[in-house]
Every structure is written in structure tokens, then in C-alpha cells.
Chains A and B, each alone.
Chain A
Amino acid sequence: MSVKRDSFSVSFTVGLYGSAFGAAGIASHFSVLQTCLLSLLLFSGASQFAVVGVIGAGGSALSAIATSSLLGTRNALYGLRLAPLLKLKGLKKIAGAQITIDESTGVALSQNNESDQIKGFWYTGIGVYIFWNFFTLMGALGAKAMGNPSAWGLDAAVPAAFLGLLWPRLTNFKTRAIAIAATALSLALTPFLPAGVPIISCALLAIFFGWCK
């Protein structure tokens, strides 16, 4: 029973944030259809915000795709972690891969037995998918109706959403040091490189610090 409750509460709460993404898409001049397709097809929050964030900052499609894809690499590790548990084949594997995200993995791994872990993965993955897409559409339509994004503060809502995703990860000295270094590097490079490139350049910091331990 509690796996259903866990899955539902996570799905609904996270799904609500979809409205922030919907609004961010419109603020960055994506259409309602394009914004909704990102939620339907890409379906990974931080990566979706990255696509609209990089394009909104004037970056190229290549920078947007690269930044978004690097942010999505953790989903591969989630898939790797879950594979022996889910043991999926064929169409179910395709569906399972699409809903392999922070939340479905988190709820699955926090259950106590294998049967609840499998249920937690599917309930949460499908639940987030439904609510996230519904609220993306609501947020996009709402933002469209508002008109000028700056007049409603939507241009500040985008970096605030990134900050909200970042904040819980800043758990120790090393992570805070990298956050400060990435902030400084991206701003220092901004006047000299095409928009979007300063952002993706910060991946080098992660590789450097991760390599050195």
C-alpha cells in the first residue's frame, strides 16, 4: 500500500513542476507544441530546462543538445542500476527506458523488497509521466495567455528553476566549490565565446574534479 502512496505523492508533486517548465518553454520562445513534445519525448526535467535555457540565452541548437544530453547521462546509470531488478525485454524495455528518471529510480530503490521496488518504478515513472505532461501543457498555455514573459517574471523563473534543481545537490565542500567555479567560468567566458558554449564548457570542470577524486 505504501508504495502506491509514495509513488502518487512523488508523481503529483513533481508533476506540478511541469507547469514551471511549460512556462519556461514559452518564455524562451518555444511554441506550445514544441514545449509539450520536450516533456513527452525527452522527459527528463533538468535536461528539458537546459534545452530551453540554452536557446533562450541565445545559444545554438548544438549547444542546447550537448548540454541537455550531458545532464541526461545520469539516466544511463539509473538504467544500469535497475536492469537486474526489472529484467525487461522488447516493448516493455522501451517503455521502461523512457520513464527511467530521478524519481522512478528514487522511489524504486527506497522500497524494502523486490516486488515493491518493481511496482515503485512503474507507478512513479508512469505517474510522473502523466502529471508532468499535463502540467507542462497547462503551464505553456498559461504563459502563452500572459503575453510578454518579462512582465510576469518568467525570465527569472527559468534560472530560479535551475537553482532549485541544483540546491539539494550542494551537500559538501567539493560540490559547492564546483558550483562556484562553474559560475565563475561560465561568466568569464560569456564575452568571448558564442552563447551556450560557456555553459557546456563547465562540463570540463566536472570531468577534471571527478577524474582527480
Chain B
Amino acid sequence: MTIFWISVIGSSFLAFATKLFGASVPESWLSHPRVQRINNLIPIALLSALVAVNSLAEKSKLIIDNRTAGIAAAVALLIAKAPFPIVVVGAAITSATLYRIF
């Protein structure tokens, strides 16, 4: 089995198990304020790391390239309150333009 299949099947299984777990456990298990706070912060920490690594890292090196310009465009569009599809397409166009020039 390839790394692709292992990650697809493993993550899908755990995602469903997580959903079913929440629907099945007694409320007192997860309603602690500390659990709620950590739960709200996890997406912020992980998504920030995913943005950084996917736009500034190449394997174990840090680099500035066409992707970095794409993400800078995305930031500008988000500040201008552009909707999600425009942000993604704007980043792609910026990155592709630089990729084709250099």
C-alpha cells in the first residue's frame, strides 16, 4: 500500500470514529471548559502551520518562491474581504504568472 492509500483510509476511518464518538458519549465527558477551549484553538494552530509550511517550505528547506507570492496575494484579498473562491483563484493566478515568467 502506498503512502497515499494509507493516509486516505487511515484519516477517513479516524474522522468517522471521531464523529460517532461525539454522538455517543455522555455529555459530561467533553463539556469541560478546558476541552472546549483547546478544541477551539487546535484548528487555528494547525491551519496556521499548514499555511506556513505549504507556502514557505520545500521538504526541509525554507524558500521564497512563486507560492509565497500567491499566499501574499491571498492575504491581500482576505484583507479586502474577498470571498473564499476569489482568494484561492487569486493566489493561483499570482503564483502561476510568476512560475511562467521565471
Contact = CB atoms under 8 A, between A and B. Distances in A.
Contact of A203 (B3, B42, B59, B85): B42
Given A157-B91, A175-B41, A210 B59 contact: no
Contacts of B97: 153
Contacts of B73: 160
Nearest to A38: B8
Interface residues of A, number: 101
Given A164-B84, A206-B42, A53 B54 contact: yes
Contact of B66 (A37, A97, A156): A156
Given A44-B15, A69-B15, A199 B53 contact: yes
Nearest to B36: A77
A42 B5 CA distance: 13
Interface in A44-77: 44, 46-47, 49-51, 53-58, 60-61, 64-65, 67-77
A170 B95 contact: no
B7 A151 contact: no
Contacts of B62: 187, 190-191
Contacts of B75: 163
Interface string A130-173: 00000000000000000000111111111111111111011000
Given A29-B4, A150-B99, A191-B60, A210 B53 contact: no
Contact of A34 (B4, B18, B42): B4
Majority DSSP secondary structure for residues of A touching B: helix
Contacts of A86: 23
Contact of A57 (B7, B38, B53, B88): B53
A16 interface: yes
A157 B7 contact: no
Interface of A: 16-17, 20, 29-31, 34, 37-38, 41-44, 46-47, 49-51, 53-58, 60-61, 64-65, 67-80, 82-84, 86, 88, 93-94, 96-98, 100, 150-167, 169-170, 175, 178-183, 185-187, 190-192, 194-195, 198-203, 205-207, 209-211, 213
9 contacts: A49-B50, A68-B14, A154-B92, A155-B70, A157-B88, A157-B92, A190-B61, A206-B45, A213-B34
